[in-house]
Structure 1
Amino acid sequence: MFNKFFLYSLLFWSISFVSIGCDNKDSSRSLEINWTEIEKDLPQGISLYYGADNKLPLKAWVVKIDGNMSNIKAKVLVSHDTDKRETVEEFVDNTQAVVAINAGYFLMHMNPTHHVGLLKADGQLVEPASESIIRQNLRYSIARGAFGIDKNNMFDIAWASTKNDSLFEWVKPLNNSNGNPVSNLNFEKAQFWDMEHAVHAGPVIVHDAKLHVCIDEEVFFGTKIPELHPRTAVGYTRDNSLILVVVDGRQSDSRGASLEDLANIMLQFDCIEALNLDGGGSSTMVINGELINRPAGGVSQREVMSSIAVFVNE
């Protein structure tokens, strides 16, 4: 997509979110990002890009991984520490992953922590999906966005849930809206989702190669998730390239990103599906053991429960 050391000036329109679910309206605010490929002595099939919009300001890093190469595998990793959390750098050190980012949400106030929603690694269900959530005394059934990897290293993002330790997906998000909950999950409208690795996060931000931010349907209204934050995201392209993104935030030289900003970055890298992951102080990218971004403006890393990691067999 980009020639090495070639600075590509990008101008695209960000989309504003109004509380109307996955439908979005155009905004006059533009986002200009200059992208360049960064040399990191990476294996064939893995590329790192750095981008900045100095006017906002915003700084972002994108890793593109060729999922079709037989020696490259992606996995979801789960912490085995006693408190069930470790830094992304520790995930890399413990597994010899080439690239890793933080993944799903977790309960920071609990020790050991618990994952928020579906978490599956190496075929083992670590945590089932959350069936419902309460907002303003109303109970909403949920099937939030999840990232999955099957046994053939094919990637998928789906609105997913679990039943009897099996994973299921819906082709459309549930029709939740603020004050109007879906009362039950209808598994008759779902289909089996055969994933070896899977992790819930959300919301979905790109669907069918279009900006598609599902705040209401995934019941993220009433939270801070839609605000400007440091961000982490995962997506994939039509040719099965994996796209991993981190955006720094809460810093003088990088304000963070809205979900719409993040979606547009994923679209620029040709994602047909993309998912917002845990962000804020959790947003971390490590490559070859080196911290790439600056979480919360520094070099210290928050311990997290899960990671999406990439491995290369030489």
Structure 2
Amino acid sequence: MSRYQMKQRKIWTNFIIFNFCLLIIGGCVYFYQKSTTIISLLNEKIEQQDQTIKQQHHAQTALIDANHSLQSQLEEALQTKITLEDENLSKEDQLVALTEQNQQLNTNIQNLSQQLDELTKLNEQYVAERPLSVVELEMKYRQLLTEANTKVSELEIAKNTVQKERDEIQDYYEQLNQHFYVKDDLKVKLVETRTSNQHYWIAEVISSDAIPLKGAMASDTYNGKRETISSMANRLGAILAINASGFYAKTNTPMGTVVRNGKLVNIDKSYTGEILSLKSDGNLAFTTVNSEEEFKNLDIKQTFTFGPILVRDYQATELNDKSRHPRTAIGQLDDNRYVLVVVEGRMEGADGMTLAELQQLFLQLGCKTAYNLDGGGSTTLYFQGKVINTPSDGSERSVVDMIYF
């Protein structure tokens, strides 16, 4: 073979090798692009599946929140049941009905919890099986979606049943709220009594250190202004409130020395009798404050003045006035446990009370301390957003201060 032929053969060989390399490279590029496309599709499927899982988790969270809300309502219903057990036997039928409703509500809550657990297990199973192929994942997704829709339908039916029972309990609550207020830091039981010639309310209050007995001035200032109890109570967010001190008609200022929230506001030397004071431990006492120096040596948070003293150390005081009027008074049973009495008068079916009758009422209740507050047209009882009694003036009288919880 000549040198020329060898050279030609070498050229063709290199050409064939070069084309073969191009073919291999092209094939690799083609398969790389194809693989990338497949991977992108798989990633999109996985993202869609993740979004579905998130939606299911959101649905679970909403159902769990609803479950917690129902449990809170059940706890309030149980607390109300405990409170009612202290009432007379006429409440027993209502307690039985409320207990049955609570048991049914508890059963529905347990069913909801079981269904939520099943749905959670389905989600966990779905997440665990994500490494399956795209076709298998799609089949599994459709299966789980069908099961989830079935569960949602079942939960919706259960939810409607629970809502109906919840509405019935809510109606019962609204009736109870006319006479009870029960929270962790404040409990109020309001009892109305009506006879042929008397109409009065007794409010038993149990407070905590967080919400103690408080005093407030009209317009939050000592400047001769007056304000209705409902206006003061709404402004300060009071649950229960009554009128408190008597006041001088010419100046519209409270009688006696005034202390608010531990601060000495004014000394009234013209009033020499004992006044009602609230100590820092929540106990009511009777004191005199005639100077700033004397005040510094006393532990006083609030003061209220009218009188007379009705009960001192569980003993009746001597009383002379036998007239009948609308009355407002306060007493204390023990630590952070008070009794408020509001008596209507000067109207048909409500003659008012004498001081002696009012005194006997506090003694029968077992109060260690009791004090008569301003009465007559000033007598006002505010509870949960409204005035309960009918003032003898026909409408609320503006006063200078109030006691509230």
TM-score range normalised by the length of the shorter chain: 0.5 to 0.7
Query: Highest relative contact order (Cα 8 Å, sep 6+), 1 or 2?
Result: 1
Rounded Cα–Cα distance in structure 2 between residues aligned with 1:104 and 1:6:
38
User: Gapped runs of 5+ residues in structure 1?
Assistant: 8-36, 133-141, 169-191, 216-224
Q: Determine which of 164, 175, 194 is the counterpart of 2:292.
A: 164
Partner of residue 30, structure 1: none
- Please point out which of 170, 193, 215 is paired with 1:51: 193
Bigger CA radius of gyration:
2
Cα deviation, 1:165-206, whole Å, max 9, x if unaligned, reads 6439xxxxxxxxxxxxxxxxxxxxxxx431111112211011
- The reply to whether residue 86 of structure 1 matches residue 227 of structure 2 is yes
Structure 2: gaps spanning 5 or more residues: 1-82, 91-175
CA–CA distance in 2 between the matches of 1:108 and 1:6?
48
Map of 2:213 onto structure 1:
74
User: What are the Cα deviations for residues 135-170 of structure 1, in whole angstroms up to 9, with x where unaligned?
Assistant: xxxxxxx323x2222233x121314233126439xx
Distance verdict in 2 for CA 1:66–1:105, change over 3 Å: same
Please list the CA deviations of residues 96-115 of structure 1 after superposition, one character each: whole Å capped at 9, or x if unmatched.
011110000102233xx111
**Consecutive aligned runs of 4 or more in structure 1 exceeding 6 Å deviation:** none
SS at 1:167's partner residue? helix
1:6 CA drift (Å) = 5.2
Distance 1:214 1:161 in 2: 23
Between the aligned partners of 1:207 and 1:53, the Cα distance in structure 2 is 28
Q: Give distance in 2, aligned partners of 1:307 and 1:262.
A: 20
8 Å Cα contact 1:155-1:242 kept in structure 2:
no
Identity %, equivalent residues: 26
Q: Is the 8 A contact 2:343 2:353 kept in 1?
A: yes
1:257 maps to which residue?
353
Aligned to 1:289: 385
Give the structure with the larger strand fraction: 1
1:308 aligned to 2:403?
Answer: yes
TM-score by length of 1: 0.67
In structure 2, the residue matched to 1:206 is: 311
Correspondence for 2:301? 196
Q: TM-score with structure 2 length normalisation?
A: 0.53
CA distance in 1, matches of 2:268, 2:369: 20
> How has the CA–CA distance of structure 1 residues 167 and 131 changed in structure 2, closer, same or farther, with 3 Å as cutoff?
farther
Say yes or no: does 1:121 pair with 2:260: yes
Q: CA deviation at 1:239?
A: 4.0
Instruction: Give the paired residue count.
Output: 233
Q: Give 1:64's match in structure 2, choosing from 188, 199, 204.
A: 204
Cα offset, 1:51, TM superposition: 1.5
Question: Aligned partners of 1:196 and 1:77: how far apart in 2?
Answer: 12
Amino acid at match of 1:199: F
The superposition leaves residues 35-62 of structure 1 with CA deviations (integer Å, 9 ceiling, x where unpaired) of xx984451332111112232xx111111
Secondary structure of 2:356's counterpart equals helix
